[in-house]
Amino acid sequence: MASLYIKNHDTADLAREVAALLGSSKTAAVHDALVHRKRALEAERSQSVHERFAAWRAAHPLGEPTGLEADKAFYDSLNDEDED
């Protein structure tokens, strides 16, 4: 049987904590986490660009309209230009 050696102490501690919560070995906990992550990545990549963009827009909606008009005077004010 192969063994799993985790060199990073924080990762090893986290694997030990998750294994304790699951009542399993560290190897089983790491395997379970990697299987779940792989499935999530595959599901994410199976979406079209349009679906991913729609999901992103739903998670990051635009702010409320300010009612201000972005006209020539507004853009001129950004550049400290005088009105024409």
Over its C-alpha atoms, the chain yields an Rg (Å, rounded) of: 26
The pLDDT tens digits of the residues spanning 6-50 come to 899 999 999 999 999 999 999 999 999 999 999 999 988 888 889
Quote the tokens at residue 46. Answer: 């199976």
State pTM to two decimals: 0.53
Question: Rounded to an integer, what distance in angstroms lies between the CA atom of residue 32 and that of residue 70?
Answer: 52
Tokens representing residue 30 in the block: 């790491």
Q: What is the mean pLDDT of residues 49-59?
A: 91
Residue 68 is encoded by which pair of tokens? Answer: 């201000």
